[in-house]
Amino acid sequence: QVQLVESGGGLVQAGGSLRLSCAASGSIFSINGMGWHRQAPGKQRELVATITSGGSTNYADSVKGRFTISRDNAKKAVYLQMNSLKPEDTAVYYCNADILTGWVNRGYWGQGTQVTVSS
Protein backbone atom coordinates (compact mmCIF):
# COMPACT_ATOMS: atom_id res chain seq x y z
CA GLN A 1 0.00 0.00 0.00
CA VAL A 2 1.20 3.46 -0.89
CA GLN A 3 0.37 6.58 1.07
CA LEU A 4 1.09 10.25 0.55
CA VAL A 5 0.90 12.33 3.70
CA GLU A 6 0.96 16.12 3.61
CA SER A 7 1.85 18.49 6.41
CA GLY A 8 2.62 22.15 6.94
CA GLY A 9 -0.69 23.83 6.22
CA GLY A 10 -2.18 26.45 8.49
CA LEU A 11 -3.35 30.03 8.89
CA VAL A 12 -1.08 32.87 7.81
CA GLN A 13 -1.47 36.57 7.12
CA ALA A 14 -1.19 37.95 3.62
CA GLY A 15 2.45 38.40 2.71
CA GLY A 16 3.53 35.54 4.91
CA SER A 17 5.08 32.19 4.09
CA LEU A 18 4.34 28.51 4.57
CA ARG A 19 6.19 25.35 3.60
CA LEU A 20 4.21 22.26 2.71
CA SER A 21 5.71 18.80 2.86
CA CYS A 22 4.50 15.51 1.42
CA ALA A 23 6.09 12.14 2.08
CA ALA A 24 5.39 8.90 0.28
CA SER A 25 5.52 5.55 2.02
CA GLY A 26 4.81 1.93 1.21
CA SER A 27 6.03 -0.56 -1.35
CA ILE A 28 7.56 1.92 -3.78
CA PHE A 29 9.93 0.94 -6.56
CA SER A 30 10.34 4.44 -7.96
CA ILE A 31 8.63 7.82 -8.08
CA ASN A 32 8.35 9.77 -11.32
CA GLY A 33 6.60 13.11 -11.45
CA MET A 34 5.40 14.77 -8.26
CA GLY A 35 3.30 17.84 -7.79
CA TRP A 36 0.91 20.02 -5.89
CA HIS A 37 -2.66 20.93 -6.73
CA ARG A 38 -5.15 23.03 -4.81
CA GLN A 39 -8.90 23.37 -4.54
CA ALA A 40 -10.65 26.44 -3.20
CA PRO A 41 -14.28 26.30 -2.03
CA GLY A 42 -16.65 26.19 -4.97
CA LYS A 43 -13.83 25.86 -7.49
CA GLN A 44 -12.25 23.03 -9.44
CA ARG A 45 -8.96 21.53 -8.39
CA GLU A 46 -6.12 23.28 -10.19
CA LEU A 47 -2.47 22.58 -10.80
CA VAL A 48 -0.02 24.58 -8.71
CA ALA A 49 3.38 23.10 -9.53
CA THR A 50 5.05 19.94 -10.76
CA ILE A 51 8.54 18.53 -10.64
CA THR A 52 10.01 15.63 -12.59
CA SER A 53 12.33 12.98 -11.20
CA GLY A 54 15.18 14.92 -12.80
CA GLY A 55 14.19 18.18 -11.14
CA SER A 56 12.49 20.05 -13.97
CA THR A 57 9.72 22.26 -12.65
CA ASN A 58 6.52 23.81 -13.93
CA TYR A 59 4.29 26.38 -12.24
CA ALA A 60 0.86 27.87 -12.64
CA ASP A 61 1.09 31.49 -13.75
CA SER A 62 -0.66 32.60 -10.57
CA VAL A 63 2.18 31.33 -8.35
CA LYS A 64 5.26 31.93 -10.48
CA GLY A 65 7.88 33.87 -8.60
CA ARG A 66 6.21 33.22 -5.24
CA PHE A 67 6.12 29.41 -4.88
CA THR A 68 8.99 26.95 -5.21
CA ILE A 69 8.59 23.20 -5.59
CA SER A 70 11.41 20.85 -4.66
CA ARG A 71 11.88 17.18 -3.89
CA ASP A 72 14.15 14.86 -1.97
CA ASN A 73 14.28 11.55 -3.82
CA ALA A 74 16.03 9.77 -0.96
CA LYS A 75 13.23 10.75 1.41
CA LYS A 76 10.50 10.17 -1.21
CA ALA A 77 9.26 13.66 -0.44
CA VAL A 78 8.10 16.77 -2.26
CA TYR A 79 7.91 20.26 -0.82
CA LEU A 80 6.19 23.53 -1.69
CA GLN A 81 7.67 26.73 -0.34
CA MET A 82 5.02 29.44 -0.53
CA ASN A 83 6.07 33.06 -0.11
CA SER A 84 4.19 36.34 -0.48
CA LEU A 85 0.95 34.54 0.15
CA LYS A 86 -2.31 36.15 -0.94
CA PRO A 87 -5.90 35.57 0.25
CA GLU A 88 -6.63 33.99 -3.12
CA ASP A 89 -4.10 31.25 -2.30
CA THR A 90 -6.55 29.97 0.33
CA ALA A 91 -7.39 26.36 -0.56
CA VAL A 92 -6.88 22.75 0.34
CA TYR A 93 -3.53 21.73 -1.09
CA TYR A 94 -3.01 18.18 -2.35
CA CYS A 95 0.21 16.50 -3.31
CA ASN A 96 0.29 13.85 -6.00
CA ALA A 97 2.87 11.48 -7.38
CA ASP A 98 3.26 8.95 -10.18
CA ILE A 99 4.57 5.89 -8.39
CA LEU A 100 5.82 2.58 -9.71
CA THR A 101 5.03 -0.34 -7.42
CA GLY A 102 6.06 -3.71 -8.79
CA TRP A 103 4.83 -3.64 -12.41
CA VAL A 104 2.14 -1.00 -11.93
CA ASN A 105 2.63 2.73 -12.42
CA ARG A 106 -0.23 4.94 -11.25
CA GLY A 107 -1.03 8.25 -9.68
CA TYR A 108 -1.57 8.69 -5.97
CA TRP A 109 -3.01 11.61 -4.01
CA GLY A 110 -2.57 12.80 -0.47
CA GLN A 111 -5.47 13.65 1.82
CA GLY A 112 -4.93 17.40 1.54
CA THR A 113 -3.83 20.13 3.91
CA GLN A 114 -5.68 23.40 4.47
CA VAL A 115 -3.95 26.69 3.76
CA THR A 116 -5.78 29.83 4.83
CA VAL A 117 -4.43 33.30 4.08
CA SER A 118 -6.07 36.17 5.90
CA SER A 119 -6.13 39.69 4.52
Q: Tell me what pLDDT residue 56 has.
A: 98
Q: Tell me what pLDDT residue 106 has.
A: 94
What is the secondary structure of 12-42 as a DSSP string? EETT--EEEEEEEEES-SEEEEEEEEEE-TT
Q: Tell me what pLDDT residue 7 has.
A: 95
Residue segments in the chain with a per-residue pLDDT below the cut of 70: none
